[in-house]
Amino acid sequence: MKIIIVNDTYHPHVNGCSVFSQRFVHYLKERGHDITVIGPALEFKNSKREVNGVKVYGVKTSSLFFKNDWGFRYAIPWFNKKYIRQIFDEVKPDLLHTQSHFPISRNVIDVAIEKNIPLMGTNHFMAENLVHYLPGPEIFRKWLQEWLYKDFAKIFNKLQKITTPTATAAKLIQKRIKQPVQVISNGIDLKIFNQNLEKKEELNEKYNIPKNTPNLYYVGRLDKEKNLDMVIKSAAIAMQKVPFHLTLTGHGDEKENLKKLAKDLEISDHVTFTGFVSNEDLPYLYKLADCFVMAGTAELQSLVTMEAMATGLPVLGVNAMAIPELVHNGENGFLFEFGEVEDLADKMVKIFQNEKMRKEMSEKSLSIIEKHDIEKTLDEFEEIYKELKTV
């Protein structure tokens, strides 16, 4: 099947929506589909390139004045439809699958409607992730948040089928969407992230992670909404009772602030900031860990939490948004309340004091994550594709 995947963020951007889209495209191509991506160009001119064997048409964009550290660029919507029509005429797609509702995607949706192409969308959007960065009073942010959701609904209500990765995410948008929202997990490749990976101890030295100390691990952006200041404060308390190391992988605006916080709390020697880690090394860094932590309160699913679970890690997860769908309190880890530093510290102590419990929780993580196998995700999407093509 000839499928166009459109997203306003794509390679080389590093964020959950971009990473999911890149992986999803790869697996669809492996299944024999003819995939074309429409996404942001890396400069203010239209482009055509190839990423991992897939054609990527870039719509001209300009950089944003904020959050450009993770690569997001903005497409001016009024000048792109002619180019998008040319792409459709060249590709002649059977179906459009959008991952976004921002300027590039909404123009592509309009062109698909013009050309009577079946279209569906997967929602990865949370307005909370955007308004979080804006200055001004809380009442303004709440008003803007609601406006952003209405704008999202205006675009997604044009689609014939809508999916989202979790029941929590579906509940968030269902009241704004005219049709039922189907839950399909983002999925995880259990062959890449799995409990049988060998430990590559040379990575301990490469990333400055101690070999003989339990390791609490985090992967993701080092940005404010990930609440890693809380993790470091809790770790400083817990380390007084039980020895362990904290490893943080990723880049972000808060990196220097977090380093300073660790220094002020006198635990710098027990905290490692690895920076960016390649896809080749990442599965093995999970394997060097003994537990994973996720304190982000705006997670529609959390790919990295699923990766950790697939590697056999128990998880300390914040009791917010979709995290409780993955972290079952007392079974494959513990839930903690946002802002409750002592609560998280106590759970760090519990999990590192009891190796038997960690192993039991590890087995439970592996059991829970099985239903998120990427093959099941692909099967479900292909069923929708077949349904839409025959309509």
Q: What is the CATH number of domain 202-371?
A: 3.40.50.2000
Q: Which amino acid, 111? A: V
- State CA 308 to chain mean position distance: 13
CATH T-level fold of 2-187+373-390: Rossmann fold (3.40.50)
Counting Cα atoms < 13 Å in the Cβ hemisphere of 36 gives 20
Sorted by where each begins, the domain ranges of the chain are 2-187+373-390, 202-371
- State CA 35 to chain mean position distance: 21
Print pLDDT tens along the chain (391 aa).
999 999 999 998 878 899 999 999 999 999 999 999 999 998 889 999 999 999 999 999 887 654 444 456 778 776 789 999 999 999 999 999 999 999 999 999 999 999 999 999 999 998 887 777 677 788 898 899 999 999 999 999 999 999 999 999 999 999 999 999 999 999 999 999 988 888 898 999 999 999 999 999 999 999 988 999 999 999 999 999 999 999 999 999 999 999 999 999 999 999 999 999 999 999 999 999 999 999 999 999 999 999 999 999 999 999 999 999 999 999 999 999 999 999 999 999 999 999 999 999 999 999 999 999 999 999 999 999 999 988 6
Taking phi over 0 as left and psi of -120 to 50 as alpha, with beta for the rest, 339 belongs to left
Identical fold, 2-187+373-390 and 202-371: yes
Q: What token pair was written down for 328? A: 């079952």
DSSP 213-252: S-EEEEES--SGGG-HHHHHHHHHHHTTTS--EEEEE---
Which DSSP state fits 84?
H
Q: What token pair was written down for 73? A: 């660029």
Residues 6+ apart with CB under 8 A from 88: 4, 111, 112, 115, 117
